[in-house]
Structure 1
Amino acid sequence: MLIFLLVPIQLFAQGFLKTSGTKIINEKNENVLLRGYGLGGWMLQEGYMLRVYRDGQQHKIRQRIEALVGAEKTQAFYDAWLANHTTKADIDALKAWGFNSVRLPMHFELYTLPVDKEPVAGRQTWLDKGFEMTDSLLAWCKANKMYLILDLHAAPGGQGNDLNISDRDGSMPSLWENPAHQQKTVALWKKVAERYKNEPWIAAYDIINEPNFGFEDPVNDKNGLKEKTNVPLKKLMMDITKAIREVDNKHIIIIEGNGWGNNYNGILPPWDANMVLSFHKYWNFNNVASIEYILKYRDQYKVPVWIGETGENSNVWFTQAIRLLEDHNIGWAWWPLKKLGSNNPLEIRTNDGYQQILAYWSNRGPKPGAEMAWQALMQLAADTKFENNIYHKDVIDAMLRQPHSREAIPFKKHAPGAIQAVDYDLGINGVAYYDMDTANYRVSDPALKQGGNSGRMYRNDGVDIGGSEGNYYVTDIETGEWLQYTIHIPRNGDYLLKLNTAADSTGGRAVIQVNGKAVKKDVTLPATGGIQQWRVTDAGKISLKKGTYTFRVMAEAGGFHLKELIVASSY
């Protein structure tokens, strides 16, 4: 797997991070801008990451697996999943790419028994597994001089009505409805703080991820978006803070509002001198208005803010969001590092057997045999390993280089020959390519919810891509859209230009530019009778000297699909 070092690695002096007014600083009093990734899907599976869209809580997925292969093999699958999903190789890669921090979503069941399984009610049984995994992750972070944020993602009983997030059983009392769950949560954080109180590469404790619960109006406001006081949430977070401070006065404590982290009504002012406000941002416009509320809190209470989760969108959205956040000195943790899907740096491969399992679970196919299901699940677990992941360098480039650069760089080293259309240059929209429909902004405007790559494969820009591995192509090209390719010409000579296209009933018309100058206009593209009926169109000959050129294929009239730009030597 090829790893690109896209930005200079930022080294920080070892020492505990702390707050200073609206900044997070290190022991040298230097501003620290956290740039990180959340390890979603490792300790806690969320259904959508596995393409399970109905009853996607981890415990329900586990029950379905057990019904297919039995309890013993189910346990072996989860052991393999936890061993493979995140390793030192992942953390080494994050450092090499240019990130400086990691957020660990913790499932409480790896650290302590659930309340209803405690042998003695009211006592806390501690489990080694979660602490050992955290110790290993911390060691990998320390070796790379990266900060680790501990995040309680699945709290005892579950902290909200969005059940998948916290692996909550909605038929049972929540975190907010059972004092024993709250006592266990407080005890867990005290145990964590005791263990890691002297670890400076742990940046902070993110004490409750995305609370989303309607205290005042549980029927009409079940996720707490309109909550006015948030009394139970504030009380529990204050109790957790008190317990942590009994053993650890060094680490930052991060709090989150209700309504998936953003509703701070009744919660502020902060009650601790070393506290950071987190907020989460998805699917909305990347303008000052979208973060104005959190900036007001920051300025009013002189407290740093940090975005603990964001992502799940196109590269265009990523670049815009990071530019906005960093312009306001707000650090970030993107979500997630890997899953089944291409809008993250690492993609977990699927397999035919697992697709059959998904079909069965969604009532679209027969029940797979136990042996086949077992092989498919273990292949899936093996494919979570870093070395088996598909690396999406375009995502990394969009996050770390493109927010600060208007330069296009090659996606691949292109020479004369058949150049795959999907291998256009890396860069922002309007520089490396131009696409009309680039990102999902459905929260700000429900009509703008289908932007980005409609095929959801290979790359994560605005460009629509279809096909399958080894046979990708650009689809649904609209009038005015274009793609750019950096091509090295090895010698002087004449070169033939050709386009390999397909179209259903109407073709299209293209312009080919070289270094910004139109060299072939009105290239008429045929209607081929189907998206898989490809036909090569000769665009003519041009003379080129040895050197590196930028070629652009521009849609003067859209409606076609592009598989290849062919630059063929005529000698």
Structure 2
Amino acid sequence: MTTNFVQVKGEDFVVNGDKIVFRGFGLGTWMNLEHFMIGLPGTDTQIKQAFAEVYGEARSRQFFDRFLLEFVDEKDFEFLRKIGVNHLRLPFNYKYFIDDQNPHQYKEEGFKYLDHIVNLCAKYEIYAILDLHSVPGGQNPDWHCDTYSGLPLFWEYGALRDTVIGLWGYIAEYYKDQPWIAAYDIVNEPSMVKDAKVFNEFYSKIIAEIRKHDKDHIIFIEGNAFTTDFSMIDPIDDPQVAYEFHFYPFVADPAVLTHEMPRARRKEIFAEAFQELLAIRDKYKRPVWCGELGLVFEQEDIVFQMEIIEDMLDLCEQNDVSWALWTYKDAAVMGIVYPREDTPWRKLTGDIKQVWNQHKEQEKGEALVDYMAETYFQPISKEERYPLQFRMRTLMQVITVEQILKPRLKQLSWEEMYELPKSFHWENCEHWDELESLVVKYTKA
């Protein structure tokens, strides 16, 4: 075994025999654009197509090349190092490596952008975890896997899964000797997987493909239901496999985000939900990583919101669980770092926010499903309504791109638009001091 790689030892992560607990962030809305985080309606692909239609293909590529290379820089890494962060989760879209029309001819484009961050990670001694956030057909029904359909078609077609299995072999061959990559996070937040055999065969085949090229790197396995349900996942023999869950307890119980709920009661609810997820450590006898936890931050409520983050991080620390906050940088939503309100990016997204946001999109999607059922059929159950609202929202995203995004892009000249990535430069950003202090409490930087 090559030294200096992070490895699995029992229920711990170790480097050269010394235990390491991961404490850090997901990088943000970078190689996989998330509409509410970047402030632009649509999926990753739809946003980029809108840019291409307004400014032309060549200029669109030029814009996003600049965005990807300037989203974070050395000053960001100096800050991360200062606050004691020891890893970053790097989300990326499969389309940087796979041409949908030639799926077995892998592209090298993605390595340009991943290398930009991985090299900074190596320089500042911060581990990178590669996170495939979007796969062909979508691994879940939501916008953040760049789905057009609102359906997790990835699990319906073996040909799609075979493409991703080959892709991970391609990535593993490229990065097999890079010790500052801690792990490969195979696929972000699978959901609505119906066939346990399909699920387990996918993981088994992808691990085998990676191991043809790379014996050292850890491989993270995520569960069903947006990586909260591991009941389908069989134990895996590979010694460098570990398990990842995500912790957003307020999705199931929104009342925990209200001021009316006593903090003690909220902590009880959090602890119960956390213990259910933590059971996978006992089940598989491997280390676990909370690959995402976080909250949408608002200036007027930041002190209360820091209490909520503290309650979640305390559970990780008390239970010896590695964690990554979602997220490091975005357009002032969940990121610790964000462009100032007077930057061109925030002015554009502030205008869009007046007529569109994620919560309105979700509420309207649910309302439209109810309207359709009650007007043309019969009222439907909560269970039937849940998957249908994802499909309704994909229709809404097409409309919002046409009626909201494109008109606002057309208001900006190419010269103005090309300067927008500067808004994410460190000197044009601010950050939440409260979250910085909280992170330092755990990293003891």
Name the TM-score, length of structure 1 as normaliser. Answer: 0.60
Give the deviation of 1:353 after TM superposition.
Answer: 4.4
2:439 — aligned with what? 399
Q: Contact between 1:85 and 1:385, CA under 8 Å: does it hold in 2?
A: yes
Give the deviation of 1:342 after TM superposition.
Answer: 5.3
The letter of the residue matching 2:66 is A
Give the deviation of 1:49 after TM superposition.
Answer: 0.8
| Separation (CA, whole Å) in 1 of partners of 2:91 and 2:144 | 10
| Separation (CA, whole Å) in 1 of partners of 2:443 and 2:118 | 29
Q: Does the residue aligned with 2:88 lie in a helix, a strand or coil?
A: strand
| Separation (CA, whole Å) in 2 of partners of 1:379 and 1:283 | 39
Q: Contact between 1:277 and 1:306, CA under 8 Å: does it hold in 2?
A: yes
Q: What is the aligned counterpart of 1:182 among 148, 157, 161?
A: 161
Q: What is the aligned counterpart of 1:81 among 56, 67, 81?
A: 67
* Distance change (3 Å), C-alpha of 1:232 and 1:352: same
Q: Write 1 or 2 for the structure with the bigger share of helix.
A: 2
Give the deviation of 1:173 after TM superposition.
Answer: 8.0
1:61 — aligned with what? 47
The letter of the residue matching 1:290 is A
Q: Contact between 1:203 and 1:252, CA under 8 Å: does it hold in 2?
A: yes
1:149 — aligned with what? 129
Q: What is the aligned counterpart of 1:213 among 181, 187, 192?
A: 192
Give the deviation of 1:64 after TM superposition.
Answer: 2.9
1:106 — aligned with what? 92
Percent of paired sites with the same residue: 28
Q: Contact between 2:352 and 2:404, CA under 8 Å: does it hold in 1?
A: no
Q: Does the residue aligned with 1:383 lie in a helix, a strand or coil?
A: helix
Q: What is the aligned counterpart of 1:289 among 272, 285, 288?
A: 272
* Distance change (3 Å), C-alpha of 1:125 and 1:283: same
Q: Contact between 2:7 and 2:13, CA under 8 Å: does it hold in 1?
A: yes
| Separation (CA, whole Å) in 2 of partners of 1:355 and 1:324 | 35
Counterpart check, 1:325 vs 2:316: yes
| Separation (CA, whole Å) in 1 of partners of 2:118 and 2:7 | 19
| Separation (CA, whole Å) in 2 of partners of 1:74 and 1:288 | 46
Q: Contact between 1:356 and 1:365, CA under 8 Å: does it hold in 2?
A: no
Q: Deviations over 1:94-131 (max 9, x none)?
A: 112210011111211112222xx11xxxx622222211
Q: How do 1:92-171 and structure 2 match up within 5 A?
A: 92-114=78-100, 117-118=101-102, 124-162=104-142, 164-170=143-149
| Separation (CA, whole Å) in 2 of partners of 1:170 and 1:78 | 25
Q: Contact between 2:230 and 2:280, CA under 8 Å: does it hold in 1?
A: no
1:348 — aligned with what? 339
Q: Does the residue aligned with 1:266 lie in a helix, a strand or coil?
A: coil
The letter of the residue matching 1:312 is L
Give the deviation of 1:172 after TM superposition.
Answer: 8.7
| Separation (CA, whole Å) in 1 of partners of 2:406 and 2:189 | 37
Counterpart check, 1:300 vs 2:295: no
Rg bigger for which structure? Answer: 1
Q: How do 1:445-464 and structure 2 match up within 5 A?
A: none
Give the deviation of 1:402 after TM superposition.
Answer: 7.2
| Separation (CA, whole Å) in 2 of partners of 1:124 and 1:89 | 38
Q: Contact between 2:87 and 2:128, CA under 8 Å: does it hold in 1?
A: yes
The letter of the residue matching 1:22 is E
| Separation (CA, whole Å) in 1 of partners of 2:198 and 2:91 | 22
1:432 — aligned with what? none
The worse-fitting range, judged by mean Cα deviation, of 197-206 and 265-274 is 265-274
The letter of the residue matching 1:178 is Y
Q: Deviations over 1:331-355 (max 9, x none)?
A: 0111111111154221134343454
* Distance change (3 Å), C-alpha of 1:207 and 1:342: closer
Q: Deviations over 1:107-165 (max 9, x none)?
A: 11112222xx11xxxx6222222112222222211111111111111112221111x21
Give the deviation of 1:178 after TM superposition.
Answer: 2.8
Q: Contact between 1:351 and 1:376, CA under 8 Å: does it hold in 2?
A: no
Q: What is the aligned counterpart of 1:259 among 225, 240, 248?
A: 225
Give the deviation of 1:307 after TM superposition.
Answer: 0.5
Q: Deviations over 1:292-322 (max 9, x none)?
A: 1232221233111111111124221221111
Greater relative contact order (CA < 8 Å, ≥ 6 in sequence)? 2
Gaps of 5+ in 2: 251-265, 297-304, 356-399
The letter of the residue matching 2:153 is S
Q: What is the aligned counterpart of 2:6 among 17, 23, 37?
A: 17
The letter of the residue matching 2:431 is Y
The letter of the residue matching 2:76 is D
| Separation (CA, whole Å) in 1 of partners of 2:46 and 2:249 | 28
Q: Contact between 2:182 and 2:218, CA under 8 Å: does it hold in 1?
A: yes
| Separation (CA, whole Å) in 1 of partners of 2:444 and 2:242 | 26
Q: Contact between 1:151 and 1:208, CA under 8 Å: does it hold in 2?
A: yes
Q: Contact between 1:357 and 1:367, CA under 8 Å: does it hold in 2?
A: no
Give the deviation of 1:372 after TM superposition.
Answer: 2.2
| Separation (CA, whole Å) in 1 of partners of 2:109 and 2:291 | 25
Q: Does the residue aligned with 1:268 lie in a helix, a strand or coil?
A: coil
* Distance change (3 Å), C-alpha of 1:344 and 1:166: same
Q: Does the residue aligned with 1:31 lie in a helix, a strand or coil?
A: strand
The letter of the residue matching 2:82 is A
| Separation (CA, whole Å) in 2 of partners of 1:343 and 1:150 | 20
Q: Does the residue aligned with 1:15 lie in a helix, a strand or coil?
A: coil
Q: Contact between 2:122 and 2:180, CA under 8 Å: does it hold in 1?
A: yes
Gaps of 5+ in 1: 1-13, 216-228, 406-571
| Separation (CA, whole Å) in 1 of partners of 2:72 and 2:349 | 21
| Separation (CA, whole Å) in 2 of partners of 1:33 and 1:208 | 22
